[in-house]
């Protein structure tokens, strides 16, 4: 509750009190005596008001406001505010909220409009929770409105434990999905922000987790501008993201949170960023302690503040900035500039205005984990699921199946639904529960866990694999969880601080699935939960059907059951390449893109980027390409030749006939999720601006395409492996630029 609201509530209460008591209460509610304080004047601009408020602060007070936990300044009527808040796939670490699927699953929908709807629901719940927290005086961490999401780092290597937080390996897919997410978080009010988003971790950051506090990433200039920066540039220049978080690691020898290249040349000068820049938590300590770029905390504080970091998540500013001023390393004017970036946003969030001024203050509590948001979580989960194999159309299973057998270490797990950076919900539906809700009451559903998640069973006697002999279908729920892959400080089952050293399932799970395959009577369906690629090896051949469900959120069990039993038609497509093994990957700490992702990988993967099967049968027909002075217009027809309504993701790629040195072998230029009724066809047109028909040269400069290129319209990367796995035949035409 802001100051004015507090004052009004007290004034109402005063009507029943004696005059002297009223004056006492009002004085307590209103520590600011002077009504002429300009920052209270709502007729002034936010810029003017924030400048006036900063001008009224002492140096010590200013410094106190530059850290994530900004204390109250009672004499100015400023309440405590904590900037550290998380909303990766739902309001996180702050009690009850809708738990949506993890972001890598959202990316698999290839649906920016769905990304917007999900983020809009998240920020709606966030505002409701904020209103309640303020009213009860709870201003602790995770109760605010400044969210440190989305993560738009490129998932360049599938060993990175935090890749689950990203939109995958494509800069284009990441840019468009994240753009929608940011707009959903920040709202569309012409005056106020609903909440704020922050793009992280700027700008070259994707492991190794164990080395992040001292690691120096050295991509080529081409890779920097072609792969690592586009999503950040898009969010800053087009989405108008309110915040950017700098990373722990160094880039080209400079700590990311004091890098002149990243923070000054790119962010401030080239992209004209005017929001706030926050350090990853403890990253300023790393400037002198991990990277040893400077010798003292005072020098680290000055390097970050002068470089552009307005908010320190950590303790370096509080501990050393005053001394840095005294030593002449940083000026109070620079402190004022950084503080202005922070307070301008606090004003835009409406934190200093009357309650009735801001429409977001009217959001009621009943939106939190509402039926509408729960239904949306289920929709996102269902659309994220990727059908990877379906031999002889064994899926969907019949709901009146006599003896279904559900087994595996994650069949009854809520943890595998939640991923990392999660909220808490009372509506968690495990995969076992979802299947139990789906099958006939006459079905003799059986369940045994069968295998521990990551370790061999302690008891050598295990009847679970032999139950498969009695089952009409075996549904084995395998995979990993955020305990095995995640952030350095959270993945407690990882021996590598959150990263993976190989891409296989844990060996005990592999052994268990092999036992199930040996004993099965009916089909074996693998349900794979993970936030990154799983190399299935021989299990691919042993399974009759495989579905990748990611970390599907609170309604994951119902969504998976809908897909397995035909109430939902799988329509997810892979937002990253699934290699066959780590042997196909370059060294993990090599930030060059050669050999990585769909753009540069020459080895045959297990599953290609963009791949995903359906219960429907799709055909692409009638490619036509026209051009005018500004754009190419690529039209085609998508036909559903089956008897089942379905959705497919049409993808447009360009591939050079004779690739130049280091040039991408394929590049995704457009995509569109299309719904097609059974037996029907739809027309679609991709419009590709000629200004977008560029590549990045070895110097990091964007240059027009020249030469012959093959244009493809397909529903997976147009490769032999995609065709082998059952992708639709692509349309193609040669174009010369």
Task: Kindly report the backbone phi and psi dihedral angles of residue 290, in degrees, each rounded to the nearest multiple of 5, phi listed first.
Answer: -90, -50
Closest CA to 642 of 338, 464, 396, 400: 396
SS (H, E, C) 264-301: HHHHHHHCCCCCEEEECCCHHHHHHHCCCCCCCHHHHH
Neighbours of 323 (CB within 10 A): 14
Q: Which residues of 211-249 are buried (b: 16+ CB within 10 A; e: fewer)?
A: bbbebbbbbbebbbbbbbbbbbbbbbeebebbbbbbbbb
Q: Which residues of 26-46 are buried (b: 16+ CB within 10 A; e: fewer)?
A: eeebbebeeeeebbbeeeeeb
Helix 297-307 crosses helix 332-348 at what angle (to 10 degrees)?
A: 60
Beta partners for residue 475, in sequence order = 406, 525
**How far is it, in rounded angstroms, from Cα 154 to Cα 149?**
14
CB 181 within 8 A of CB 194: no
Choose, from 280, 286, 353, 499, the residue flagged as catalytic: 280
Read out DSSP for 649-688?
EEEEEEEESSPPTT--S-EEEEEEEEEE-TT-EEEEEEEE
3-state secondary structure of 255: strand
CB 171 within 8 A of CB 165: no
- How, if at all, do strands 69-70 and 81-82 pair? antiparallel
Active site residue 280: yes
3-state secondary structure of 113: helix
CB 340 within 8 A of CB 51: yes
Q: State the Cα angle at 274 between 262 and 110, rounded to 5°.
A: 75
Q: How many residues does the chain have?
A: 737
Catalytic center residues:
280
């Amino acid at each position: 509750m802001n100051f004015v609201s507090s004052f009004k509530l007290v004034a109402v209460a005063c009507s029943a009190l004696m005059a002297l008591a009223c004056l006492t209460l009002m004085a307590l509610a209103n520590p600011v005596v002077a009504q002429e304080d300009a920052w209270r004047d709502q007729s002034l601009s936010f810029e003017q008001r924030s400048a006036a408020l900063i001008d009224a602060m002492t140096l010590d007070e200013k410094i106190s406001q530059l850290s994530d936990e900004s204390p109250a300044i009672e004499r100015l009527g400023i309440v405590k505010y904590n900037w550290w808040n998380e909303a990766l796939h739902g309001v996180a670490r702050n009690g009850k909220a809708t738990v949506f699927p993890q972001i890598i699953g959202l990316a698999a929908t290839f649906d920016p409009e769905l990304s917007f709807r999900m983020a809009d629901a998240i920020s709606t719940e966030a505002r409701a929770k904020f209103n309640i927290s303020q009213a009860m005086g709870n201003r602790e961490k995770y109760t605010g409105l400044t969210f440190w999401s989305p993560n738009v780092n490129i998932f360049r290597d599938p060993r990175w434990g935090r890749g689950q937080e990203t939109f995958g390996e494509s800069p284009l897919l990441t840019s468009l999905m994240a753009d929608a997410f940011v707009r959903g978080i920040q709202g569309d009010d012409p005056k106020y922000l609903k909440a704020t988003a922050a793009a992280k971790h700027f700008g070259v950051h994707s492991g190794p987790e164990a080395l992040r506090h001292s690691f120096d990433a050295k991509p080529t200039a081409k890779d920097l501008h072609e792969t690592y920066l586009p999503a950040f540039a898009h969010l800053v220049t087009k989405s108008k993201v309110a915040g950017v978080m700098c990373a722990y690691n160094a880039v080209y020898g400079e700590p990311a949170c004091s890098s002149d290249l990243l923070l000054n040349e790119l962010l401030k000068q080239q992209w004209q960023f005017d929001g706030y820049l926050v350090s990853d938590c403890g990253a300023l300590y790393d400037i002198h302690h991990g990277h040893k770029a400077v010798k003292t905390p005072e020098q680290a504080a000055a390097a970050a503040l002068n470089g552009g970091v307005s908010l320190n998540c950590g303790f370096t500013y509080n501990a050393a900035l005053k001394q840095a001023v005294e030593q002449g390393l940083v000026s109070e004017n620079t402190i004022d500039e950084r503080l202005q970036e922070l307070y301008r946003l606090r004003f835009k969030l409406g934190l200093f205005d009357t309650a009735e001024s801001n429409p977001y203050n009217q959001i009621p509590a009943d939106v939190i984990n509402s039926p509408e948001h729960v239904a949306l979580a289920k929709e996102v989960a269902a659309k994220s699921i990727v059908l990877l194999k379906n031999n002889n159309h064994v899926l969907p299973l019949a709901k009146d199946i006599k003896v279904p057998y559900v087994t595996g270490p994650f069949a009854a797990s809520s943890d595998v639904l939640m991923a990392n950076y999660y909220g808490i919900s009372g509506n968690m539906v495990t995969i076992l529960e979802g299947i139990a809700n789906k099958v006939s009451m006459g079905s003799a559903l059986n369940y045994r866990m069968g295998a521990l998640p990551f370790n061999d069973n302690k008891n050598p006697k295990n009847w679970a694999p032999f139950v498969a002999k009695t089952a009409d279908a075996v549904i084995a729920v395998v995979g990993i969880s955020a305990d095995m892959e995640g952030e350095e400080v959270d993945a407690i089952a990882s021996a590598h601080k959150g990263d993976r050293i190989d891409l296989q399932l844990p060996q005990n799970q592999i052994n268990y699935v092999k036992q199930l395959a040996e004993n099965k009577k009916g089909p074996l369906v693998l349900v794979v939960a993970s936030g990154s690629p799983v190399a299935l090896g021989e299990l691919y051949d042993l399974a009759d059907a495989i579905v990748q469900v990611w970390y599907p959120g609170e309604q994951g069990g119902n969504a998976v059951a809908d897909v397995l039993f035909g109430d939902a038609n799988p329509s997810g497509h892979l937002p990253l390449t699934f290699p066959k093994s780590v042997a196909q990957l370059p060294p993990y700490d090599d930030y060059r893109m050669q050999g990585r992702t769909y753009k540069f990988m020459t080895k045959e993967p297990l599953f290609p980027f963009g791949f995903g099967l359906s219960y429907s049968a799709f055909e692409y027909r009638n490619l036509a390409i026209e051009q005018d002075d500004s754009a190419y217009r690529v039209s085609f027809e998508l036909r559903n030749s089956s008897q089942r309504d379905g959705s497919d993701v049409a993808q447009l790629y360009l591939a050079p006939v004779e690739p130049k040195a280091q040039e991408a072998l394929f590049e995704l230029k457009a995509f569109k999720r299309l719904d097609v009724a059974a037996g029907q066809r739809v027309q679609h047109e991709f419009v590709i601006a000629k200004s977008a028909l560029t590549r990045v040269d070895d110097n990091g400069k964007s240059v027009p395409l020249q030469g012959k290129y093959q244009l493809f319209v397909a529903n997976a990367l147009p490769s032999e492996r995609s065709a082998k796995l059952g992708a639709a035949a692509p349309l193609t035409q040669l174009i010369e630029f």
